Amino acid sequence: MKRLLVAVLFLLVAPAHAAHGSSPASIDAALAQGKRENKPVLIDFQAVWCYSCYFMASHVLNGKEWDDLNRKVVFYEADADKPADKAWMTKLNVHFLPTYLAIGPDGEELGRILAERPRDAFYREIGGVLSGDARLSKQKADAAKGSLAAVADVLDTYQLRYAGKEGMGWFDTLPPMVRNVSDKDKRVALAKQRLLLLQAKDAKDDKGIVDAATKVLAGNIGCERPYVLDDLIGATGSQAADARRSLLAPQKAPYDTYLATQVFTAQPACADQRSAVLTAADLYAALGDTAGETAVLRKAIDLSREKLHGDLKSDRNLADNLRVYLVRARATDELDTLEKELIAAWPDDYVYNYRRGRRLVEGGKAAEGLPYLEAAAKKAYGANRLTVATYQVKALRALSRDADAKKVVAAVTAAEGKAFPEQVKKLQESLTTAT
């Protein structure tokens, strides 16, 4: 999930897992079916480039629990790169992939789950969502009666919906007696800081981010620790080295404990190991601990190789994590070999051809990267096609093939211009910007 907010508009895939019976053709069709059959609709927002989606598809969305769940819901697998599904992401304020969002037969959202989960945790959480306990209207009603747990639940729901301002606005509508009492509740206090962190991020207020993130990190936030620490690291980036280290140094010990107890274990409590490792590397780098940065990356690389046993297809999430660790460690020779193996392992996807081509182009090797991008372009569509085209244009212009670059832009404009007008405009502008 790390840095997925930036990537969410970019890339595609055939369904990774199938529901029972015939699947609805669209979210609108799924909602109509749910209303007819009086069933909740469960939407899985995913994409082929989403490593967290790889984890869920291979480790969680299968077996008896998955079969039982599919009998209770109308299931729709949404592709973040298809125009219609992307429009629903915008409408529902979905930022992370995967997001599992349940809507009742009456059209009210029942709740949502963000990011990957261990198997037991996912089915426990989705059971709570489908029970209606996470329905915002129910939570608000219980909160108005004075339930502190419900107050925290409402604030957490706004957090999941990326609605920091709305959440704090709702809190301000509570009677003073409820607000004053709830402020003393640790869960409510933490939930409020998380919403304040959201607001500060929306406002690009680094000081606000530092303040809220530091307070959130002081709480018991479990598997969210890498994401919040990532916010803190980013918000301190413009500070002087000594000032930055003084803010980040207190996070090292608790984060090392987090890695040892919840990530680098036989049965990790947190499913998103990639974010945990990359945030650790970024923390050590910010603290000037080059040896620590190298050590955590090599540990993650070695553990990934050990678990894969030479079979990349045995666990796509782990195989892709290995690729990213090698990128971060600048292990170029190992990465060159692995990228070719990943292309061979998943020949029907555009994604690994694209990633290799992009890396080569960014490294000044346009001639080497272009064939991979051309192979990716044949399999990409929607938002994917725009992403691939961006780097095709960069490669072609670097090779002084401007006429061919114009042909690529023209073809993509004709195919995707109506669905993605802003992205197409940027692609067109890339023909005239300095290389």
Phi, psi of 314 (to 5 degrees): -70, -25
Total H helices, total E strands in the chain = 24, 4
What CATH number has the domain spanning 1-134? Answer: 3.40.30.10
The confidence score (pLDDT) of residue 12 equals 35
Interatomic CA distance for residues 105 and 302, integer angstroms = 48
Interatomic CA distance for residues 381 and 370, integer angstroms = 18
Helix (H) or strand (E) holding 77: strand 74-79
Three-class SS state of 100:
strand
The confidence score (pLDDT) of residue 352 equals 97
The confidence score (pLDDT) of residue 21 equals 52
> Any idea where the domains of the chain sit in the sequence?
1-134, 143-203, 350-435
pLDDT tens per residue across all 435 residues of the chain: 454 433 333 333 334 454 445 689 999 999 999 999 999 999 999 998 999 999 999 999 999 999 999 999 999 999 999 999 999 999 999 999 999 999 999 999 999 999 999 999 999 999 999 999 889 999 999 999 999 999 999 999 999 999 999 999 999 999 898 999 988 999 999 999 999 999 999 999 999 999 999 999 999 999 999 999 999 999 999 999 999 999 999 999 999 999 999 889 888 889 999 999 999 999 999 999 999 999 999 999 999 999 999 999 999 999 999 999 999 999 999 999 999 999 999 999 999 999 999 999 999 999 999 999 999 999 998 999 999 999 999 999 999 999 999 999 999 999 999 999 999 999 999 999 877
* Lookup: tokens for 413: 């404009």
Q: Does domain 350-435 have CATH number 1.25.40?
A: yes
